[in-house]
Amino acid sequence: MLVAALAVSACAPSATMRISAASTPEEAGMVDVRTLVPDIDLDLRYAGSNNFVGAKVDGYEAARCYLLTDAAKALQQAELALRQQGMRLRLFDCYRPARAVRHFVAWAGDLDDQRTKAEYYPRLDKRQLLGDYISPTSGHSRGATVDLTVLQCAADGNGCVPLDMGTPFDFFDTRANTDSALVDARQRENRQRLRSAMERAGFRNYPMEWWHFTLNPEPAPTVFFDVPIR
């Protein structure tokens, strides 16, 4: 079972998959989501140290959300629809360079580094993460996957706070499964609210992670990118 609290791909890489030669987001056909929604809420965890690695991740040189154009436009659609209901999205991760995934694998193999265990994998031995949870490839590196949550806002559109989803983002535990019975009814309802909003915009949820959504169909299902985020 590929639980993948790191938002790894739900499918194994095939022989037809390749790393793109693109060296810039523009060459890869990606756009900064803030060119479409300038004030979208960003909490891009891997560009800082507030993540399961406990440090800035390789390839994240700036806190920017890049996606392939079709995925970015679909995300814009989801955001604008939620705003009509007094809600907004908060983005945790978007396009992920392939070198960042290699950083994750290296971290998982460093058994001496247990700094983030209490917050991200309290019920697991770190040796269990590589394979079941951390994969050498990620669907995020194909440019059409996003990790996110929903914010509830005040009547004037300000004072937005995250809905209670039952677990933090990137939590290594079956409680993070979208339909987990280990969270309460309100938390499941909040997860369904996020899933419904994203499905209406054309995304599909990865059922092992309530926060993980991929545009369906993917624009570039056989191509990985390794462009640094600058």
Q: Which residues are catalytic?
A: 209
CA-CA-CA-CA dihedral for 176, 92, 115, 113, to nearest 10 = 90
Peptide bond into 228 cis (omega under 30): no
120 in Cβ contact with 108 (< 8 Å): no
Strand partners, 145: 214
Chain mean position to CA 146:
4
Q: Name the residue among 191, 196, 186 with its Cα closest to residue 210.
A: 191
Rounded Cα distance between 17 and 197, Å, is: 30
89 in Cβ contact with 82 (< 8 Å): yes
Token duo for residue 57:
């991740």
For residue 200, which phi and psi values (nearest 5 degrees)? -65, -25
